[in-house]
Amino acid sequence: MSGLALDRARIRELFDLRSDVYATRGGTFEVDPYPTFHHLRETGPVHAGTPHEALGWKGDVFFQGLPYPQRPHFSAYDFETCATVLKDDRHFVTSLPPLPGEPPLIDAAILFMNGRQHRDYRTLVQPSFVPGRAVWWIENWISRTVEQLIDAFAHDPAVDLNTEFCAPIPLLTITGSFGITVEEALDVRAAVTSDGQGAQTLARLLMPIVAARRDQPGDDLISVLVQAEVADEGATVHRLGDQEVLGFAFLLLAAGSGTTWKQMGITLLGLLQHPEALAAARADRGFLRNVIEESVRWTPTDPVFARFVAEDCELGGVELPAGAIVHACLAAANRDPSRWDRPDEFDPFRPLKPHIGFGHGPHTCLGMHVARAEMTTGISALLDRFPQMRLDRDAVAPKIVGLYERGPDSVPVRLEGEG
């Protein structure tokens, strides 16, 4: 294959949920969480404790709102309460000043900003992430990556799409939009998944590109960031500094590569395990929109996001003290039977109805249209190139695993012929 110098062995290692990289997110956790989520929702919208405790996970966890052992934890499980937690940014915020002994949050990342500061910074990058900009992403980065990855395995009789296809597409899309070479993209992935240790690697790779775009902007995301202007508290306007650009870049990589990889795997499994849906998508690529939304409703890759309680308040009949953490279980909310019939079924033929798998309120996923574009372009190309593609029944049956980041452990397919 020309063009994509990817080390396939390293990809398998970096994107293997069983590797150490994913241990602190419950990488190989195999328990189906949904029966527990249903039981909790039926017994009250808000419970003391965290979702992983409810599921019996005993290992370390490192995720938004975790571990924070000094603070009380609560969790919400129904649609309405979870939507309230994500929307009400007066009572529920993404950062509070750390208690003694707690690590500081990365304050250059919009995910950890609140209120006006969050709005101002998010507005800077929003224009590159609106639906109308999807074509910019597809034409510049996504299509080429998809075609080159397919060329690499097109002559193999069988392939694990999870590692060879779903995993690299989002990584190469974002690193491509930064101007980082394919050879360096895997170093970037290793840096981002190292629980905060890898910021220096990213800085080493990105700083020369930032300097070059400050001199001469191009048609890419770093150029957008270095030209962006934001008003300080005193209303003085300034351009983003290097640390702010790095903070944005780090967040986009962390938020945008692992998520879309796993959601694309979940979507492909859903499709390949439901012949009627697969036939409908083959006949009409427009149907992929329903398939993708249903996948994010049915099994969102990130099932839980958390907020700090900013002031004493009541939620779902439970008193929450200021400083506590509340975990909104989006996965449980997305299967709330008061909103969806047969909520445990993957059924892309059901009418589209808003879910909260991409979040809700001010921090709603910035990259959701890019994620949708990646999944649509990727799956559509597979259907075009492999009219006989089907699950490989000789391979070990795939499972959806993980705790705070969930996805399939493989998506094994046979590409040609019947068998």
Q: Are 378 and 143 in contact (CB under 8 A)?
A: no
* Angstrom distances, CA of residue 43 to CA of 35, 46, 174, 210, 313: 13, 9, 42, 52, 21
Out of 357, 398, 407, 412, the residue judged to bind ligand HEM by CB under 6 A:
357
Query: Tokens 């979507």 identify what position?
Result: 267
Residue number with CB closer to ligand HEM (255 or 389): 255
> Of all residues in this chain, which one has the CB nearest to ligand HEM in the complex?
367
Residue number with CB closer to ligand HEM (249 or 272): 249
- Quote the least distance from Cβ 224 to ligand HEM, whole Å: 12
Residue number with CB closer to ligand HEM (22 or 415): 22
Footprint of ligand HEM on residues 358-397 (CB under 6 A)? 358-359, 363, 365-367, 370-371
- Quote the least distance from Cβ 58 to ligand HEM, whole Å: 25
Residue number with CB closer to ligand HEM (357 or 412): 357
Residue number with CB closer to ligand HEM (357 or 408): 357
Residue 80: which of 279, 328, 286 has the closest Cα? 328
- Quote the least distance from Cβ 99 to ligand HEM, whole Å: 20
Q: Which helix (H) or strand (E) holds 306?
A: strand 304-309
Cis peptide before 67 (omega within 30 of 0): yes
Stretch touching ligand HEM by CB under 6 A, among 141-149, 186-194, 355-363, 385-393: 355-363
- Quote the least distance from Cβ 343 to ligand HEM, whole Å: 18
Site string for ligand HEM, 101-140 (x = CB under 6 A): ---------xx----------x------------------
Out of 174, 186, 228, 278, the residue judged to bind ligand HEM by CB under 6 A:
174
- Quote the least distance from Cβ 133 to ligand HEM, whole Å: 11
- Quote the least distance from Cβ 2 to ligand HEM, whole Å: 27
Pairing of strands 304-309, 158-160: unpaired
Residue 417: which of 157, 160, 164 has the closest Cα? 157
Pairing of strands 390-391, 318-320: unpaired
Residue number with CB closer to ligand HEM (288 or 415): 288
Residue number with CB closer to ligand HEM (359 or 398): 359
Residue number with CB closer to ligand HEM (165 or 392): 165
Pairing of strands 407-408, 400-401: antiparallel
- Quote the least distance from Cβ 396 to ligand HEM, whole Å: 25
User: SS3 for 116?
Assistant: helix
Footprint of ligand HEM on residues 51-90 (CB under 6 A)? 64, 86
| Phi-psi sector, 314: left (phi>0), alpha (psi -120 to 50), beta | beta
Site string for ligand HEM, 278-317 (x = CB under 6 A): ------------------x---xxx--x------------
Angle at 403 between CA 126 and CA 291, to 5 degrees: 55
Exposure class string for 343-367: b at 16+ Cβ within 10 A, else e: beebbbebeeeebbbbbbebbebbb
With CB under 6 A, what is the number of residues at the site for ligand HEM? 28
- Quote the least distance from Cβ 266 to ligand HEM, whole Å: 9
Site string for ligand HEM, 242-281 (x = CB under 6 A): ---------xx--xx--xx--x------------------
Q: Are 20 and 29 in contact (CB under 8 A)?
A: no
Q: What is the side-by-side order of every strand in the sheet holding 158-160?
A: 158-160, 412-414, 390-391
Residue 268: which of 237, 301, 240 has the closest Cα? 301
**Which residues lie closer than 8 Å to 186 by C-beta, 6 or more apart?**
6, 7, 10, 11, 14, 171
Q: What is the DSSP string of 149-207?
A: HHHHHTTSSEEEHIIIIITHHHHHHHHHHHT--HHHHHHHHHHHTSTTTTHHHHHHHHH
In 10 A of CB 417, how many CB atoms?
A: 8
Residue number with CB closer to ligand HEM (65 or 343): 65
- Which residues are near ligand HEM by CB under 6 A? 64, 86, 110-111, 122, 170, 174, 251-252, 255-256, 259-260, 263, 296, 300-302, 305, 357-359, 363, 365-367, 370-371
